[in-house]
Amino acid sequence: MKKLLVLGLCLTLAAGVLTGCQKEQKPSAQTSVSQAEVSSEPEQKQAQENIFETQPDGFRIVTIGTGNPKFDTNAGGNSTLVQYKDKYFLVDCGAMSAYTLANAGLPITSIDNILFTHQHNDHNADFWTYFVGGWGDPKGRRQLDLIGPGVQNLYDMTVDFYRTDLEYRSNGVGFSSDGVLTNVEIRDLTKEKDEFELDGVKIKAMTVPHTIEAYAYRFEADGQSIVISGDMMYKKEFAEFAKGADIVVMDGMLTSDFSDLPEEAREGMKASLKKSHITSEEIGELMAQAQPGKLVLSHLGGAVDIDAVSKAYKEQGYKGETILAHDGMSVEP
């Protein structure tokens, strides 16, 4: 009898444990549902953020990389895409720009116009990904226009270094050499001002002061215009160059308050950067004269109090909208 009682007690306890386990598993089932919901969110978000599902009637800019020379996965090397209807003009291609562009919905094989403001690493680090990866694909580009200072040297150096690889992909894999070894147009900018047309868009280039030869660009078509400053120090002629533009993408390095740096290091950093970048006050002065519809601050040095910056520009006389850029942001006139 005692054995039966003990056995019964054990069975009761076992049943209780099993019941308890089942009760404990219910939250796990809810967690699984939550995980499924969470795992589906990136796909939904990606679908919402596919900028290129729709085509603009005119211009659109996408700030592909908005950071500075410091590597930052949240703000890639400098790069801005100018889109005109179904045509694309990539201005600079810093680190991570190829990834960000593809993640926004546009494969790098779609890029056959690459312009450089200047040849600093934070503006050209992904060039080789576009050059080889954008071509070496069954759907790869079969023409390429390279524009900017030093592009002939950049192209020659690249082809010389990768020639065996390029010839293998062409002869061995069967990709046409067009777009990499042939059917490549190079416009090496050397004059203070230049003007040309590409894919139905008039493009103006003007030198701007920086640590090396650098250019700003203005894109014009159908009564709309986009200006990309690139890295620059103050130049009074820039106000006329950017006058009345729908969108100006501006070197915003010194709009940062550098609050992410130790307080004792901030003034020294600002003083150093003034030797190569325009100050926030100087931007306000130029924009008050140029009066673009929208001012987009990119190439950011760190944290920016956009409300304070925007207020300061209005006090200086700028009447348009001031926008703080981030990677993958789309802006239209």
| Predicted local confidence at residue 8, as pLDDT | 47
Cα angle, residue 206 at apex, residues 191 and 306 outer, rounded to 5°:
155
Q: How far apart are CA 247 and CA 127, in angstroms?
A: 25
In 10 A of CB 160, how many CB atoms? 8
Pairing of strands 201-208, 214-221: antiparallel
> pLDDT tens for residues 134-158?
999 999 999 999 999 999 999 999 9
In the three-class reduction of DSSP (H, G, I as helix; E, B as strand; rest coil), residue 274 is classed as coil
* DSSP-assigned beta bridge partners for residue 64: none
| Predicted local confidence at residue 238, as pLDDT | 99
Contact 329, 96 (CB under 8 A): no
Tell me the Ramachandran region of residue 96: left when phi exceeds 0, alpha when psi lies from -120 to 50, beta otherwise. Answer: left
Q: Could you tell me which residues come within 8 angstroms of residue 60 by beta carbon, excluding any fewer than 6 positions away?
A: 51, 82, 83, 330, 331, 332
Q: How far apart are CA 192 and CA 170, in angstroms?
A: 38
Query: For the chain, where are the E strands, in sequence order?
Result: 59-65, 79-84, 87-91, 113-115, 144-148, 184-188, 193-198, 201-208, 214-221, 224-228, 247-251, 294-298, 321-324, 329-331
What sign does the dihedral 266-269-297-41 (CA atoms) show? negative
At residue 49 the predicted structure's pLDDT band, cuts being 50, 70 and 90, is low
- pLDDT of residue 47 exceeding 60, the answer is no
Locate all alpha helices (DSSP H) within 108-226, ordered by sequence. 121-124, 127-128, 151-167
Task: Tell me 272's DSSP state.
Answer: H
> pLDDT tens for residues 177-206?
999 999 999 999 999 999 999 999 999 999
> pLDDT tens for residues 199-258?
999 999 999 999 999 999 999 999 999 999 999 999 999 999 999 999 999 999 999 988
Burial of 143: CB neighbours in 10 Å, binned 0-12, 13-18, 19+: middle
Q: Could you tell me the strand order of the sheet in which 79-84 lies?
A: 184-188, 144-148, 113-115, 87-91, 79-84, 59-65, 329-331
Residues in the chain, total = 333
Which CATH class name applies to 56-331?
alpha beta
Per-residue b/e over 104-131, b at no fewer than 16 CB within 10 Å? bebbbbbbbbbbbbbbbebbbbbbebbb
Q: How far apart are CA 14 and CA 29, in angstroms?
A: 22
- pLDDT of residue 319 exceeding 60, the answer is yes
Q: How far apart are CA 69 and CA 63, in angstroms?
A: 16
For the chain, percent of residues with pLDDT exceeding 90: 77
Enclosing H/E stretch for 258: none
Rounded to two decimals, the pTM is: 0.84
- Phi and psi dihedrals of 142, rounded to 5? -125, 15
Burial of 64: CB neighbours in 10 Å, binned 0-12, 13-18, 19+: buried
H helices then E strands: how many in the chain? 9, 14
